[in-house]
Chain A
Amino acid sequence: MTEQSSPITAAEVTKVAKLARLTLTDAELERFTHQLGDILGHAADIEALDLTDVEPMARPIPLTNVFRPDEPGEPLDRDDVLSVAPAVEDNQFRVPPSLGEDS
């Protein structure tokens, strides 16, 4: 399969992987480009159908307005939660810094 005929290019898959913080090997890149191409190909099959008379649906389930009353429930115990955190400081989760870009 050449890049032109594929619904998704290896470059696009690389970008998506980067956004998802995934590092792909060359073999994985090829495999996922192929698999994602198949999925997009299936969507293309549906696009090929004449759906002019079909109402667009925002959700597959015909359900609206599921609510919860504004009433407090039981919180989790902080010590329980923090006991499973990788790092803790002052009752807070300690995490590595992010966003390095600056000038």
Chain B
Amino acid sequence: MSVDLDTWEIVVGLEVHAELATRTKLFCSAVNEFGGEPNTNIDPLTLGLPGSLPVLNEHAVELAIRVGLALGSEVSPSSFARKNYFYPDLPKDYQISQFDRPINVGGSLELPSGKVIGIERAHLEEDTGKSTHVGGGGRIHDAGYSTIDYNRAGVPLLEIVGRPDIRNADEARAYVTELRSILVAVGASDGKMEEGSMRVDCNVSVRRRGDDELGTRCEIKNVNSLRSLGRAIEYEAARQVDLIEAGERVQQQTRHWNEDDGRTHKLRSKEEADDYRYFPEPDLVELDPGAEWIERVRAAMPVLPAARRHRLAETTGSELEQTALVVERGLDELCLAAIEAGADPVRVLTHAEHNLSDERSLKLDPEQFAELVKMETGGQLTATQAKTVLSEMVEGAGSPADIAAAHGFEAMDNSELESLVDGLIESNPTEWQRFCEGDAKITGFFVGQVMKATKGQADGKAVTALLNTRKG
């Protein structure tokens, strides 16, 4: 099933929970690690034991500020609140979160396409323990019982709430990918979706094209990969359109994505926000990072992916989108250095985009990369030969000149090529006649003959050009 996008518009807003890369939890000194033995990273606060009190982890705040600055948020004086609910994944019966006064207010994120997605807020809160539902097929709503590991309870999270500016599954995936790059770039999170370091809740609604008002949304949970994210959005949008077209209404509710059947299932009707009875956390004081701290963090910020894409696009004179993959692979510094060393910018970018997918490419020497590109643009290597040499350079085989020499790649003298081509024209009059009559397919015959004679060292484009010159 798919949505008729001429009639309908899909509206998506994402809430991303990112686990912060601290050594310890948000409010206590129990260790923050993935994959520890169950219930070993626990202390009195993690278990909500009487008398235990929270104290805020300074480094978690630092990381939150970094993300806030990266997203262009206003880093603000903030406070913590209790979000009350009874669920065994938090033994205190409440989660400490930020409610009316989040640390990061507003902001935006630029996708590789150049589209900008608004950010509502990015606030600190504690993670919950991990429940495993046993019996009844392992699904949350029909479990026989649950077992709980509290290692994750209290791990610092930053909840990044995006505005409903996303319009399709591809944009949603691009948003999450970009956000992950930013989190990793500033060292705030390892961004590993497969380990739950980054979890996405996805608000989906649909409306008729041209409508200003947003439709009723459903929140989808359990989206654990970029692939599921796209599938879940497409399924849910189609479900809602079907409902509306059948004359029914979409009900606001939380739904659970099931990877196996590729559908979303109703989990619970959305509770009213005030059912959580938020109130100021009495055990914690105000958090006000202040200008000095914020500026110190700002001064130490790395160049972010969006700025790196713009820089590379400007230097190479290319389209912004062409730089996305290269920046994602972290090859932009290498490219800029090679260009600085005199290599042709477009060839550099093309190689980085198509021929440098190997992780070892990051270790390439920019001078040597530049030298290779110069050999290619200087006519000493054909495009195919340059690709071969480059892949061996990535494997650590040495300088481009040495590798080319080892392969016997030598630039053919132009006069050598000319006499070869002239000889072929003379000895193949029928084929030459066809070429002159405009039979493009016969070009391959001549190029093939030249390649055969030169053991593949001639430049195919040069041969074609020469044939055209001879044709007159």
Contacts and interface: CB of A to CB of B under 8 A. Distances in A.
Contacts of A89: 134, 147
A68 B56 contact: yes
Contacts of A25: none
Contacts of B284: 66
B55 A67 contact: yes
B266 A94 contact: no
B38 A59 contact: no
Interface stretch (A3-11, A41-49, A75-83): A75-83
A97 B266 contact: no
A99 interface: yes
Given A76-B44, A82-B39, A102-B141, A69 B31 contact: no
Nearest to B147: A92
Interface in A50-103: 58-59, 61, 63-76, 78, 81-82, 89-103
Contacts, number: 141
B29 A71 contact: yes
Interface string B25-39: 001111100000111
Contacts of B145: 94-97
A64 to B, nearest CB: 4
Contacts of A96: 145-146
Nearest to A102: B141
Interface string B179-220: 000000000000000000000000000000000000000000
Given A65-B287, A71-B24, A90-B38, A58 B59 contact: no
A63 B132 contact: no
B88 A95 contact: yes
A98 B290 CA distance: 43
Nearest to A92: B147
Q: Contact size class for A? A: 35 or more
A93 B150 contact: yes
A93 B61 contact: no
Interface stretch (B235-243, B267-275, B318-326, B415-423): B267-275
A19 interface: yes
**Which of B28, B39, B288 has the most chain A CB atoms inside 10 A of its CB?**
B39
Contacts of A101: 141, 266-269
A70 B268 contact: no
Contacts of A65: 285-290
B286 A58 contact: yes
B141 A64 contact: no
A63 B77 CA distance: 13
26 contacts: A19-B275, A58-B79, A58-B101, A59-B285, A65-B285, A66-B56, A68-B29, A68-B56, A69-B59, A70-B23, A72-B29, A72-B30, A73-B28, A73-B29, A73-B43, A76-B42, A78-B40, A81-B42, A82-B39, A90-B147, A91-B39, A92-B39, A93-B147, A97-B136, A100-B141, A101-B141
Interface of A: 19, 21, 58-59, 61, 63-76, 78, 81-82, 89-103
Given A65-B289, A70-B59, A98-B88, 10 more contacts: A21-B86, A65-B286, A66-B284, A68-B56, A70-B23, A72-B30, A73-B28, A93-B150, A96-B145, A99-B268
Interface of B: 22-24, 27-31, 37-44, 47, 55-61, 77, 79, 84, 86-88, 101, 131-134, 136, 140-150, 265-269, 275, 277, 280, 284-290
